[in-house]
């Protein structure tokens, strides 16, 4: 069965106010079932443009040593905007501008139902129920195809995406406007993406995964004080080993989750307690859930240690977390810690890089 499960969550308070150097064209050939996981052959037209990346968003991109290294190895880049704990990628779909939230917690990209007309898209019903972090809803996913999707100086052709209603918790987006959907993990993996949160760049390789760049990435970042943390992909989701207050677990690496969130049952196992926050967490397809907040002395992500940590706690869906499986997860590693620690995600080598938080 296609994997349409979505882990990302969004936060609001009850009244809906705020909660806390190349051009590439890639043709995804039509196929009977885009979500069957089979990799299709690609037609790639790659035109190298000398010099820096095309100016986008708020002006020219100042490339870091990492980004210069990747551009020199054939990568194209798209600048994104950080708004609170969300990463918004300006795009053009069929010539209509919008933006997608960069979401490593979404197995595939998504266009929200409300944005279909804006982009001139239609969809068909998949017959598969929306399954969010709090359980299954009554709505089915749709499937659509985006003829042209441009981000930065990279254009993808005939991109398949799921269609679903936007989650209810849009309070955190009100000042900037609601997103048109999610840019998901499948497309990032397909193009060997390197997600540079510190410098607000999504870099993709038009020829697909480029494992040869990974040793150079590791060398550059470890010299800058980063710690390398191993990742894995299982059932369409990105996972990392962690230790919460001495209790080992696995977490989903989810740039679409506003806050790091642990399942209530695991929180009891880790003995971290919690207090009511007054916030509600919204997932796809289900009603909002109340959220507690917990503080504890130590949070480890692989070999990287965060002292005096804080997380959100809520009642997450057991099936979606895979509690019947050996590799089940205890929650979501969200955007706040990934951003605070200058996260870089290399999907070629499946490595997360984190560094100590800069002192004010």
Q: What pLDDT shows up at residue 172?
A: 38
Q: What pLDDT shows up at residue 325?
A: 56
What are the angstrom distances between the C-alpha of 130 and each of 27, 69, 162? 28, 40, 10
Spatial distance between the Cα atoms of 170 and 241, rounded to a whole number of angstroms: 30
Whole-structure pTM value: 0.80
Mean pLDDT taken over the chain? 78
Q: What pLDDT shows up at residue 281?
A: 59
Q: Choose from 60-69, 195-204, 261-270 the range with maximum mean pLDDT.
A: 195-204
Q: What pLDDT shows up at residue 279?
A: 66
Tokens linked to 299 = 């949070």
Q: What pLDDT shows up at residue 53?
A: 37
Residues 214, 70 contacting (CB under 8 angstroms): no
Q: What is the pLDDT of residues 123-142, one digit of tens each?
A: 998 877 665 555 556 678 89
Domains, in order of start, for the chain: 10-215 (2.40.70.10), 228-354 (2.40.70.10)
Q: 345 in helix, strand or coil?
A: strand
- Checking if the pLDDT of 177 tops 90, the result is no
- Checking if the pLDDT of 173 tops 60, the result is no
Spatial distance between the Cα atoms of 333 and 44, rounded to a whole number of angstroms: 34
Q: What pLDDT shows up at residue 85?
A: 85
In a 13 Å sphere around the CA of 92, the CA atoms on its Cβ side amount to: 11
Q: What is the pLDDT of residues 44-70, one digit of tens each?
A: 222 222 223 333 333 455 789 999 999
Q: 189 in helix, strand or coil?
A: helix
Q: Which residues pair with 155 in a beta bridge?
A: 25, 150
Q: 265 in helix, strand or coil?
A: helix
Q: Which carries the bigger pLDDT value, residue 152 or residue 194?
A: 194
Tokens linked to 302 = 């692989």
Q: What is the pLDDT of residues 210-234, one digit of tens each?
A: 999 999 999 999 999 999 999 999 8
């Amino acid at each position: 069965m296609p994997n349409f499960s979505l882990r990302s969550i969004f936060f609001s308070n009850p009244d809906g106010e705020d909660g806390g150097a190349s051009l590439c064209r890639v043709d995804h050939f039509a196929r009977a079932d885009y979500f069957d996981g089979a990799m299709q052959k690609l037609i790639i037209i790659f035109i190298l443009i000398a010099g820096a990346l095309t100016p986008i968003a708020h002006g020219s991109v100042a490339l870091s040593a990492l980004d210069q290294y990747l551009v020199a190895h054939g990568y194209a880049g798209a600048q994104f905007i950080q708004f609170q704990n969300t990463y918004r990628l300006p795009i053009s779909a069929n010539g209509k501008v919008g933006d997608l939230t960069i979401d490593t917690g979404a197995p595939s990209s998504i266009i929200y139902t409300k944005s279909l007309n804006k982009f001139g898209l239609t969809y068909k019903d998949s017959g598969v129920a929306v399954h969010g972090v709090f359980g299954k809803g009554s709505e089915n996913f749709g499937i659509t195809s985006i003829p042209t999707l441009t981000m930065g100086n990279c254009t993808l052709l005939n991109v398949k995406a799921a269609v679903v209603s936007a989650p209810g918790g849009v309070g955190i987006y009100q000042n900037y406007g609601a997103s048109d959907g999610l840019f998901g993990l499948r497309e990032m993996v397909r193009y060997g993406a390197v997600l540079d949160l510190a410098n607000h760049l999504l870099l993709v390789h038009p020829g697909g995964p480029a494992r040869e760049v990974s040793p150079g990435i590791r060398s550059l970042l470890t010299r800058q004080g980063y710690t390398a943390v191993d990742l894995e992909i299982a059932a369409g989701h990105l996972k990392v080993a962690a230790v919460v207050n001495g209790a080992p677990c696995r977490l989903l690496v989810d740039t679409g989750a506003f806050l790091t969130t642990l399942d209530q049952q695991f929180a009891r196992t880790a003995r971290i307690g919690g207090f009511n926050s007054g916030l509600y967490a919204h997932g796809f397809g289900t009603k909002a859930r109340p959220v507690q907040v917990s503080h504890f002395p130590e949070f480890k992500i692989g070999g990287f240690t965060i002292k005096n940590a804080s997380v959100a706690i809520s009642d997450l869906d057991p099936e979606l977390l895979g509690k019947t499986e050996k590799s089940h997860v205890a929650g979501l590693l969200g955007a706040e810690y990934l951003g605070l620690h200058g996260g870089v995600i290399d999907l070629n080598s499946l490595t997360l890089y984190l560094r100590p938080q800069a002192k004010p």
